[in-house]
Amino acid sequence: MPYIAMKNVSKEYGDQVVLERLNNRVEQGEFITIVGASGCGKTTFLKMLLGTEVPSRGQILLENQTLSPEPDENRGIVFQRYSVFPHMTVLQNVLFAKEVAQSSLLGRLFGAKRKQAMEQSLSMIEAVGLSHAQNKYPHELSGGMQQRLAIAQSLIKKPRILLLDEPFGALDPGIRKDMHKLVLKLWRQYKLTIFMITHDIKEGFYLGTRLWVFDKIRNDPHAPNAYGAAITYDLPVGACEAKVFQEIDQNLSKTNTAQKNIGEQSNG
């Protein structure tokens, strides 16, 4: 039994077909990076895994159970921005999940329970390297530190799938490298199953165990919305050659140009 199975998953909005017949399976502990041209349904796919979108056809199974159609504790998410609570300190942000789990009326913990939850939260904060900032508010943190916080916040729930939506897209290259190290470390340490969207194809080749490329298989220039994207490459990371990398890069830029032309036509 696969951990996650996708069966004929399609997604369309009206006439616009975004994704077509995705069939794939993912085992527990895999780290999948997803790249693709803009508008090729990467984010839509992630939203279906997250539960904020449901497939138009087909289904996604997590250990043989259909995913619930709203976000829940099975899935953790780190967005590019805005995924920490600005009105809570670092510690309160991480503590939040523990508090709502144990206090259904107030969503707050007191006394011994709070102390225990604090200890767990503090060790999580330490794992992402934010111990020195535990009492700071997010606006006092740099972009990289905010993303570390967002990761800590999710990991304390021990999600069965961790979804990362271009988590490092807004960060400087140097900081991005540190974040890669951190994610790889946490992935091994907590045996996570990760899906990560990136538009940096090098990131895709460096991180994780599998690289998925989302692209349109067919393209009708007269009806650009008639065909959706699918997974065109499914590669084990570390075992492929530079030639493949170039090929993907070329294909994607072709799709990107095609879409840009369409965009310009429809705008003009």
Partner 1 sequence: MPRRLINRQPSKPTRVALGILPFLMLIAIYMMASHQRLLENPSDKLLPAMSSFANSIERMAFSENQRTGTYLFWDDTVSSMQRICIAVSISAFIGLLFGVANGAIPYIRAKLSPLITAISLIPPMAILPILFIVFGLGELAKVMLIVIGIAPFLIRDMQQRTLEVPAEQIIKAQTLGANSWHIILRVIVPQVVPRLISSVRLSLGSAWLFLIAAEAIASTEGLGYRIFLVRRYLAMDIILPYVIWITFLAFVFDFVLKKTSQKLFPWFHGSLKES
Q: Which residues contact partner 1 (rule: CB under 8 A)?
A: 50, 52, 70-73, 75-77, 79, 81-88, 96-97, 99-101, 104, 106-108, 137-140, 150, 153-154, 157, 159
- Conformational region of residue 158, where left means phi above 0, alpha means psi within -120 to 50, and beta covers everything else: left
Using the minimum distance from each CB to partner 1, give the nearer residue, 103 or 219: 103
**Which residue's entry shows tokens 């206090």?**
103
Task: Report helix, strand or coil for 19.
Answer: strand
Using the minimum distance from each CB to partner 1, give the nearer residue, 89 or 209: 89
Using the minimum distance from each CB to partner 1, give the nearer residue, 40 or 77: 77
Closest CA to 239 of 195, 218, 208: 208
Written as six digits, the tokens of 26 are 């993912």
Shortest reach from residue 97's CB to partner 1, in Å: 4
Pairing of strands 16-26, 194-197: unpaired
Distance between CA atoms of 128 and 112, rounded to whole angstroms?
25
Using the minimum distance from each CB to partner 1, give the nearer residue, 17 or 150: 150
Shortest reach from residue 72's CB to partner 1, in Å: 7
Using the minimum distance from each CB to partner 1, give the nearer residue, 86 or 238: 86
Distance between CA atoms of 122 and 10, rounded to whole angstroms?
42
**Which residue's entry shows tokens 């021990």?**
158
Shortest reach from residue 145's CB to partner 1, in Å: 15
Shortest reach from residue 125's CB to partner 1, in Å: 15
Shortest reach from residue 123's CB to partner 1, in Å: 17
- Conformational region of residue 196, where left means phi above 0, alpha means psi within -120 to 50, and beta covers everything else: beta
